[in-house]
A and B are shown apart, each in its own frame.
Chain A
Amino acid sequence: MRVLLVDDEAELVSTLAERLSFRGIEADWVTTGEEALKQVEEQRYAVGVLDVKIPRISGLALKKRLEEKCPEMKFIFLTGHGSEEDFLIGSAEAGADYYLIKPVDLNLLIEKLNEITKK
């Protein structure tokens, strides 16, 4: 399984990617939407983990663009404004598979990643 992490906080995504790799999940990370779009052309990803707030493009819009390129790709959203209701609204509107709150619980993320890829 290969995962693409998109968040403007490079420190956060780079660390997250490294920690995932410790657990046998290959993860690439980018900090902008443009980079993410470029990245999917070079590499196929099972799941995209997107921040809802990325400079110049919203997480929701980016998800739509990425979906056009890779229809089989699944998505998990990350947000600083965490709440269960946000999750419900976000997932219903954007069709995200999961919605996680920062700071991210790594075990929960891995659990969700496994769940999605098994579907």
Chain B
Amino acid sequence: MDLLRKLKPKFWDHYDVASGPQKQLFNFRRIWLLAVLWTVGVSLVPLIFITVLDYRATRKGIESEIRLRTARLVSNTRRSVTFFLEERLSAIQFITRLQPCRDFGNSGQLREILENLKQSFGGFVDLGIIDAEGNQRTYAGPFPLAGKNYRDQEWFQQAVRKGHYISDVFLGYRRMPHLVIAVKHQLNDGSYHLLRATLDMERFNQLISGLEISGSGDALLINHRGVLQTPSRLYGPVLQDIALPIPTFSSKTEVLEERNLKGEPLIVGYAYIADSPFILMIVKQRKELMKEWYWTRVELLGFLGLSIVVILIVILGTATYLVEQIYLADQRRVAMLHKVEYANKLASIGRLAAGVAHEINNPLAIINEKAGLIKDIFSFKREFQAEPRLIALMDSIIASVERCAAVTRRLLRFARHMEVSIQTINLEEVVREVLGFIGKEAEYRDIAVSVQVQGEIPPFESDRGKLQQIFLNIINNALAAIGDGGRLDILLRRVDERSVSVTFIDNGRGIPAEDLKRVFEPFFTTKASQGGTGLGLSITYGLVQELGGSIQVESTVGKGTRFAVHLPLKYEKRSREIDASTVSG
């Protein structure tokens, strides 16, 4: 909270009650807020807009890259699987065309062919010759399948109908998953038989399981009914139904987005393998693939966040500094205005005083002369000389007139000093003159006022009117703080070769430390309810500065206050600056 209070600019709590219709113009908090909002808006909106665009473009780029890579992998794998199957189908077809030279009824020969096939192509398990009735006439292979009838099996019917057939994976008589390539061989007499080869599942599975798939993915083959044809890491063993929808037919490689049973997003690339019951599928975890995007996103959002913080700091700092400067300039302007107002008021009082003094002076002169004449008559005519009281009465009237005259003379002098003039000053005389104005108040309130002079104070050049005003303000303040029966000591002292000081020490109620720093600020007052303007000491401060001097204040609550005014013995004109840098507390 303390830090916040320290950071809070001066204008924040400013409220100018006197600003009137221009209130908006001098609402510094509003100016600050507008400046901040506009600059923040203008700088952050495009930044955020660009970042959002970049965010979306990058995400789209990464997504399409993922799709493209998946599609390429599917396409390449399809080519391998297709080639694997076609190569073996072609081999079987080639063998059937060699029929005139070969006697397939001889199982020895069939075994020879199987051996050759295994060595040349690999991936074959057994071979069999099946007649038109579906009976396996000859068999070469590790299983006891000779004489088995296949008429009811689908691959047999399809091969008879189409001429050749690649089956999906099934258990068959051997009760093991396998797939079959069957080729129909039409003989010249119209009869036919089928050459059937069983493929090695291990070799077939290797085609798929050997793939390196990013994103915790899986590659697998299913048939058109959604039954797994190769074992899958994610979806179970061969011949199990896959827990994914069967992709719709397309002659091209396709990539689509799916969700698994847990609802996690998946990227699924697939392709139908021509002339076979297989669908190649590559399934990847979208979350894994987007990991790369995650870091890009962190970088992007981090950059955005950092930029926003830097922009905000710069904008807040600049706006606060600028508005503070405007505020200070405005405070100076207001203080100047008030000073001018105050000076005008004093000048008016001066003119008024001069007018009154002049108007009173003439009747006073008449009273003086008339009283003098009466006194003359009493003095010069013998018949009145027996009445000494009459002379005494006249003397009393004349003395009173002289007192009045002293007052009017003082008023006239005061009025004349409203105008700036540098003259030779007797400091003690100026202090006593000011005390003359307020002497009565001190007397009524039983305040003891003393003036002490330490050392010799030479006459020096200064502005008598300003000095009067400075002393009058300080003494007035002191009198306001002192209780009845208190005391005010005024000490005049030669400080050094170049300066003198006038110190006013009272035993009044003192000023609290937090107020002490502000007593010279314009409009700072603790006497607002008694009509204080908060200008007295501020003007005093300005006047002391104008005279090239300085003013210090020290105070202890309950004990009293001490104002020390230092004045140079040589007058140099200085411009007035409102700051409290020389104020000591």
Contacts and interface: CB of A to CB of B under 8 A. Distances in A.
B376 A102 contact: no
A30 to B, nearest CB: 16
A35 B526 CA distance: 63
Nearest to A15: B369
Given A19-B376, A103-B401, A103-B405, A82 B412 contact: yes
A114 interface: no
Interface in B384-439: 401-402, 405, 409, 412-413, 416
Contact of B372 (A9, A15, A81, A82): A15
Given A12-B366, A82-B409, A103-B401, 14 more contacts: A9-B365, A11-B369, A15-B369, A15-B373, A83-B409, A83-B413, A102-B365, A103-B364, A103-B365, A103-B402, A104-B365, A104-B369, A106-B369, A106-B372
Interface string A21-40: 01000000000000000000
A80 to B, nearest CB: 4
A59 B370 CA distance: 24
Contacts of B354: 81
A16 interface: yes
Contact of B366 (A11, A101, A106): A11
B366 A83 contact: no
B416 A22 contact: no
Given A82-B412, A101-B409, A103-B405, A19 B358 contact: no
Interface string B354-368: 100110011011111
B444 interface: no
Most chain A CB inside 10 Å of its own CB: which residue of B357, B365, B405, B409: B365
Contacts of A11: 366, 369-370
Contact of B362 (A15, A16, A80, A82): A80
A97 interface: no
Interface of B: 354, 357-358, 361-362, 364-370, 372-373, 376-377, 380, 401-402, 405, 409, 412-413, 416
Interface string A5-22: 000010110011011001
A12 B362 contact: yes
B409 A12 contact: no
A81 to B, nearest CB: 6
A80 B404 CA distance: 13
Contact of B361 (A18, A22, A102): A102
Nearest to A85: B416
A9 B358 CA distance: 13
22 contacts: A9-B362, A9-B366, A11-B369, A11-B370, A12-B362, A12-B369, A15-B366, A15-B370, A15-B372, A15-B373, A16-B369, A18-B373, A19-B376, A22-B376, A22-B377, A80-B361, A81-B358, A83-B412, A101-B409, A102-B362, A103-B364, A104-B369
A81 B373 CA distance: 24
B481 to A, nearest CB: 34
A82 B368 CA distance: 16
4 tightest A-B contacts by CB? A103-B368, A15-B369, A103-B365, A80-B361
Nearest to A106: B372
Interface residues of A, number: 17
Nearest to B416: A83
Contacts of B372: 15, 19, 106
Contacts of A12: 362, 365-366, 369
A22 B378 CA distance: 11
Contacts of B380: 22
Contacts of A102: 361-362, 364-365
Contacts of A101: 409
A83 B364 CA distance: 17
B358 A104 contact: no
A80 B355 CA distance: 10
A16 B369 CA distance: 6
Nearest to B421: A85
Contacts of B373: 15, 18-19
Scoring A18, A19, A103, A106 by chain B CB atoms within 10 A of each residue's CB, the highest score goes to: A103
A22 B405 CA distance: 25
Contacts of A9: 362, 365-366
A14 B193 CA distance: 172
B577 to A, nearest CB: 32
A106 B401 CA distance: 14
Nearest to A10: B366
Contacts of A81: 354, 358, 412
A80 B354 CA distance: 10
B426 to A, nearest CB: 14
Contacts of B361: 80, 82, 102-103
A16 B370 CA distance: 8
Contacts of B413: 83
Given A15-B373, A22-B376, A83-B416, A104 B409 contact: no
A107 to B, nearest CB: 10
A106 B370 CA distance: 12
Contacts of A16: 369
B404 to A, nearest CB: 9
Contacts of A83: 409, 412-413, 416
Nearest to B381: A22
A85 B401 CA distance: 23
B383 to A, nearest CB: 15
A19 B368 CA distance: 11
Nearest to A104: B365
Interface in A68-93: 80-83
A103 B366 CA distance: 8
A16 B409 CA distance: 21
A103 B360 CA distance: 10
A22 B374 CA distance: 11
A80 B369 CA distance: 14
A81 B411 CA distance: 10
B409 A19 contact: no
A53 B76 CA distance: 124
B418 to A, nearest CB: 14
A46 B362 CA distance: 26
A12 B218 CA distance: 130
Contacts of A15: 366, 369-370, 372-373
The CB with the most chain B CB atoms within 10 A, among A12, A80, A104, is that of A80
| Listed residue (B366, B409, B416) with the most chain A CB atoms within 10 angstroms of its CB | B366
